[in-house]
Amino acid sequence: MSVPGPPSLDGVLAGPPHGLESGGPTPGLSDTSPDEGLIEDLTIEDKAVEQLAEGLLSHYLPDLQRSKQALQELTQNQVVLLDTLEQEISKFKECHSMLDINALFTEAKHYHAKLVNIRKEMLMLHEKTSKLKKRALKLQQKRQKEELEREQQREKEFEREKQLTAKPAKRM
């Protein structure tokens, strides 16, 4: 069983690990008991796994760190964009509420004009009723005066008739 060597700078295995060059005895493949070389194989395999992991990390770690930095910048930019978007939304809502306020003011002006017209009509009606009351009062006073005059005329006629009626002479 051969064990890979230490990784080169570019991450590709260069050859067998130290002490495992061809020509030397291969551990774990001796003529003795099959269990004797097992512990040696495990320590060599652990070293090889460790070296492979270090090589893999050294190869991919810079790219991963750059990716991590790029993701952090992207996340930060997204936060800035979200804040900007929230501000724009609030501005839009303010504009929309301003339109609502303008509509309310327009409606208020309309109703104010209606109230002014109603007030003018009420003043005009008040003036007309005042004039009609004065006229009715004058007419009533004129009728009363005419009636009084007729009554006085009747009394005068009655008095005249009384005076014209023959009076018996007083005998003495």
Model's pTM, two decimal places?
0.39
Q: What is the dihedral of CA 154, 155, 159, 164, to 10 degrees?
A: 0
* Tens digits of residue pLDDT in 27-51: 555 555 555 555 666 778 888 899 9
Strand partners, 7: 13
**Closest among 86, 87, 65, 68 to 76, alpha carbons compared:** 68
pLDDT tens string 49-95: 999 999 998 999 999 999 999 999 999 999 999 999 999 999 988 88
CA angle (140 as vertex; 136, 146 as ends), nearest 5: 145
Q: What angle do CA 16, 21, 23 make, to 5 degrees?
A: 145
